């Protein structure tokens, strides 16, 4: 299956040329029906969309070879991200290509609300010349409250500061250092409600942000406040805002987004000093071209180099990071597979430790690979993209730790799994470019991975190795590699064998019956 890409929404020729110039085969088929999309999507590894294409469960079920979906724009309401995640499909957006355009539109709507531009325009063009009716307010020296201060919010803050406004921001992810850098004051939501003369919204629609300006919270706002929403419909209780506009508690509002779109009817339409635009936040020539080019670059990067950019459901990896991470992902996959196969009952907890130079790499993809393999014996269709979310859904605790130094190796990755109240531990590193096991149950050894391996936990007593060799020899099972570790003479010990064939159940039963054996498991890689 080739890395072919389908473009199912209108996009510029320049974006199409990016794929072709990168050696990626591309089909441009905008305007397809859902049935047409389902009929052909199985051919493609990549899908480039805008807002028209709806990538729901039906489409994803048919997308048997799909690896990546790229949305030319910020919002991905038209993609079923949880379903894509379950199927191992990376979902990317382009959050920077239209950030300036959307921020400028928010500032434009802020002026519209402050100076009643929409109503004044309608009145003037009707020949009324109601000069005394439209008495606005200055933005100078007023306090702007930002709900959300990320990519777009920070640009709005910069523009507002240029207008000599004071800016306060509510954003749980905004660090104090970043707030100082932007020149804004970080505040809690209740404080913003008390102080803001105008409010602009710059957050996604989630369970936590839905109706963040609820009826109750609108009542807490200063009388005469202005409200602008260029982010997502549903952040404001539209009915409560309509009542507040009619009562005069809110002096003006300007919305580019609505709960139901297209918004042919809305409770806010016709309210005093309400301005509406039809979701134009990203609608400039520059922004539409920028996001189209960006999404083409991102999809092409992933399919040709493995780089992941602006992903919404898996860690991002740059083109420079991808080759450096490749051997470590291979190691993580094998360590996770080892750990997953020695979880004989319920998986109670997972711990992942990184030591040494590997801590300087992006470890999130490594953790995703480990978790996927740990879960694989329980769910064969698991993948790196879905694994962290599924582990969380299962209620299994995950702890990750990093130490900048490693006592023996330049780098070490250690995986611990808890089952039946007991921890089982495996650690490895890269030696000569190859993944190797260097520690099991805190006992040192150095063993290469083999397609079939026999893992034995035994007591260190004479006669065990001879009995083991004889048993496997009688069964016609050749030993390719043999590695031992122990706590001390006569104490707990391990044996890790690379073998050239699987171990039949009856032979494994005889092995487990040896007096020195505490645990035995055939591992496959």
- Residues annotated as catalytic are 232, 261, 279
Cis peptide before 262 (omega within 30 of 0): yes
Give me the sign of the Cα torsion angle 17, 23, 29, 30.
negative
Asked if 142 contacts 165 with a C-beta cutoff of 8 angstroms, the reply is yes
Q: At residue 145, what are phi and psi to the nearest 5 degrees?
A: -100, 120
Compute the 3-state secondary structure of the chain and give helix, strand, coil in percent, each to the nearest 5: 35, 25, 40
- What are the structure tokens assigned to 84, written together? 């894509």
E strands in 384-502: 397-403, 411-419, 422-431, 434-440, 443-448, 452-459, 479-486, 492-499
Q: How far apart are the first and last CA of the chain?
A: 24
Residue (of 253, 243, 255) closest to 219 by Cα position: 243
d(CA 73, CA 75): 6
What length does the chain have?
525
Collapsing DSSP to helix, strand or coil, 259 comes out as: coil
Task: Give the list of residues 6+ apart from residue 337 with CB closer than 8 angstroms, or none.
Answer: 373, 376, 523, 525
Structure letter (DSSP) for residue 463: T
Contacts 24+ apart (CB under 8 A), 331-334: 331/366, 331/413, 331/428, 331/429, 331/430, 331/435, 332/365, 332/366, 332/367, 332/369, 332/370, 332/373, 332/413, 333/369, 333/370, 333/372, 333/373, 334/373, 334/428, 334/435, 334/449, 334/525
Angle (CA) 395-400-403 rounded to 5° is: 170
- What are the structure tokens assigned to 167, written together? 């800016």
Token pair 């009826």 is found at 215
């Amino acid at each position: 299956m080739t890395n072919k890409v389908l473009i199912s929404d209108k996009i510029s020729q320049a974006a199409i040329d990016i794929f072709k110039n990168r050696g990626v085969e591309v089909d441009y088929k905008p305007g397809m029906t859902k049935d047409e999309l389902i009929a052909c999507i199985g051919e493609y590894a990549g899908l480039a969309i805008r807002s028209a294409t709806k990538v729901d469960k039906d489409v994803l079920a048919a997308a048997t070879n799909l690896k990546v979906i790229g949305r030319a724009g910020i919002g991905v309401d038209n993609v079923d991200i949880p379903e894509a995640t379950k199927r191992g499909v990376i979902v990317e957006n382009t959050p920077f290509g239209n950030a300036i355009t959307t921020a400028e539109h928010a500032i434009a709507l802020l002026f519209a609300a402050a100076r009643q531009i929409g109503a004044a325009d309608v009145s003037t063009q009707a020949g009324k010349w109601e000069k005394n009716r439209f008495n606005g307010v200055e933005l100078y020296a007023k306090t702007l409250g930002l709900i959300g201060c990320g990519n777009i919010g920070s640009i709005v803050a910069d523009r507002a500061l240029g207008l000599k406004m004071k800016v306060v921001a509510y954003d749980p992810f905004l660090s104090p250092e970043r707030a100082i850098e932007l020149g804004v004051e970080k505040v809690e939501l209740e404080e913003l409600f008390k102080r803001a003369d105008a409010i602009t919204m710059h957050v996604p629609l989630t369970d936590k942000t839905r109706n963040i300006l609820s009826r109750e919270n609108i009542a807490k706002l200063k009388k005469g406040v202005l409200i602008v929403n260029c982010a997502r419909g549903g952040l404001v209780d539209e009915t409560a805002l309509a009542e507040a506009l009619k009562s005069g508690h809110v002096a003006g509002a300007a919305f580019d987004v609505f709960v139901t779109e297209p918004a042919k009817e809305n409770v806010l339409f016709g309210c005093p000093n309400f301005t509406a635009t039809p979701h134009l936040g990203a609608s400039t020539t520059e922004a539409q071209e920028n996001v189209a080019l960006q999404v083409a670059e991102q999809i092409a990067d992933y399919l040709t180099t493995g780089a992941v950019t602006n992903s919404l459901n898996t860690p991002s990896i740059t083109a420079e990071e991808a080759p450096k991470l490749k051997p470590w992902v291979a190691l993580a996959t094998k360590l996770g597979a080892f750990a997953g196969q020695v979880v004989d009952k319920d998986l109670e907890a997972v711990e992942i430790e990184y030591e040494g130079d590997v801590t300087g790499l992006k470890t999130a993809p490594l953790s995703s690979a480990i978790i996927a393999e740990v879960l694989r014996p329980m769910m064969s269709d698991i993948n790196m993209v879905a694994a962290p979310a599924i582990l969380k859904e299962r209620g299994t605790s995950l702890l990750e730790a990093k130490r900048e130094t490693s006592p023996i190796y330049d780098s070490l990755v250690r995986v611990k799994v808890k089952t039946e109240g007991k921890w089982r531990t495996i650690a490895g590193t890269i030696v000569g470019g190859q993944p190797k096991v260097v520690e099991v149950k805190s006992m040192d050894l150095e063993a290469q991975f083999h397609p079939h391996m026999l893992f034995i936990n035994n007591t260190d007593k004479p006669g065990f190795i001879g009995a083991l060799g004889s048993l496997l020899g009688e069964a016609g099972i050749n030993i390719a590699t043999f590695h031992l570790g122990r706590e001390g003479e006569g104490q707990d010990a391990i044996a890790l064998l690379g073998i050239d064939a699987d171990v039949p159940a009856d032979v494994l039963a005889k092995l487990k019956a040896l007096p020195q054996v505490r645990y035995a498991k055939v591992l496959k890689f």
